[in-house]
Amino acid sequence: MSQVVLIQGSLNKESRTAVLVQHAEEELKRAGLGVSVLDLRNLQMEFCDGRSLKEYHPDMQKAFQAMDNAQAFVIGMPVYCYSVSGPLKNFIDITSGAMEKKIAGILCNAGGKQSYMASADLSNILAYESHVTTMQPIVYSSYEDYDDQTLTSDKVKSKIRELMDHLARQLKNYS
């Protein structure tokens, strides 16, 4: 059972959200936490239409179970149209019941520097639907923070570390 489930929310083969998630995973392991990653690229996911969980693909049922067993989440969100990408929102629509009253960190990845408020949409969705508390700082990266698939920004790296340390401290306080 993992204490923290990291959700990689991009379907792009060359996703940079996935790069952020990988850095976050390393930081959480360094902090001694049990972690697992749900990468949306590896899941068979139907559109959410309100059916019961057992009628979705077994991948979604396993994802729900892993999240139900976890204490916290880190959600990597690609920014689409100044908000949460459609596939990630769909994933949350199916699995929000497994997040009830837990804590989460947000890793927000965009093309430009101006879309940072997109993370507030995710924070609101989590708070209103599942009473999830979003930890600070929210991490934000854009094209200029990367060299191809390598994260080059020390500022973003240190934000990831700060957020993961915060998450780890909160989890140690709970246990």
Ligand X SMILES: Cc1cc2nc3c(=O)[nH]c(=O)nc-3n(C[C@H](O)[C@H](O)[C@H](O)COP(=O)(O)O)c2cc1C
Closest CB to ligand X among residues 12, 69:
12
Residue 59 token pair: 């991948």
Smallest gap from Cβ 106 to ligand X, in A, equals 14
Cα angle for residues 69, 83, 42 (degrees, 5° grid) = 45
Smallest gap from Cβ 36 to ligand X, in A, equals 19
Enumerate binding residues for ligand X (CB under 6 A).
Answer: 10, 12, 15-17, 78-82, 109-112, 115
- Shortest CA distance to 122 belongs to which of 159, 156, 153, 93? 93
Closest CB to ligand X among residues 88, 171:
88
Q: How many whole angstroms separate alpha carbon 106 and alpha carbon 56?
A: 26
Can you tell me whether residue 9 is helix, strand or coil? coil
Closest CB to ligand X among residues 16, 159:
16
Smallest gap from Cβ 86 to ligand X, in A, equals 8
